Every structure is written in structure tokens, then in C-alpha cells.
């Protein structure tokens, strides 16, 4: 019996798409934050991954 290969979500590393549930799940897990915090960050600084990471780092200092 051959196992089916599992597909892993490969997000765009430059931006976060909160309308894509797989992207949202990936980034909330990768950044160890809630989806609401991620949505708030994107609403404030935009979807650019580096901007979001910088914002999260700044609010946790």
C-alpha cells in the first residue's frame, strides 16, 4: 500500500493573506499568536511579513 503524499502549505514569504485560511493558520502558528492578533497587526501595518514581525516585536518589548 502506498501512502498519499501530504501537502504542506507554502505561504508567500513576503506577505500574509488573512483571507486564505491555510495562510492564516500557518502564520498564527509560525508567529505563536492568535488569529485576532494577526488580523489586528495586518490592519495596522499591512500584510508585509517583515512589517508584521517588526510590529509584533515592538509591542512585546
DSSP-assigned beta bridge partners for residue 14: none
Rounded Cα gap, residues 6 and 34, in angstroms: 25
Q: What is the pLDDT of residues 14-49, one digit of tens each?
A: 999 999 999 999 999 999 999 999 999 999 999 999
**SS3 labels along the chain:** CCCCCCCCCCCCCCECCCCCHHHHHHHHHHHCCCHHHHHHHHHHHCCEHHHHHHHHHHHCC
Q: Which pLDDT does position 5 carry in this prediction?
A: 42
DSSP-assigned beta bridge partners for residue 48: 15
Q: Which pLDDT does position 13 carry in this prediction?
A: 83
Amino acid at each position: 500500500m502506498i501512502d498519499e503524499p501530504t501537502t504542506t502549505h507554502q505561504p508567500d514569504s513576503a506577505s500574509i493573506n488573512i483571507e486564505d485560511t491555510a495562510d492564516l493558520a500557518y502564520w498564527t502558528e509560525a508567529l505563536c499568536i492568535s488569529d485576532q492578533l494577526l488580523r489586528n497587526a495586518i490592519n495596522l501595518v499591512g500584510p508585509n511579513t517583515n512589517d508584521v514581525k517588526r510590529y509584533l516585536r515592538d509591542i512585546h518589548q
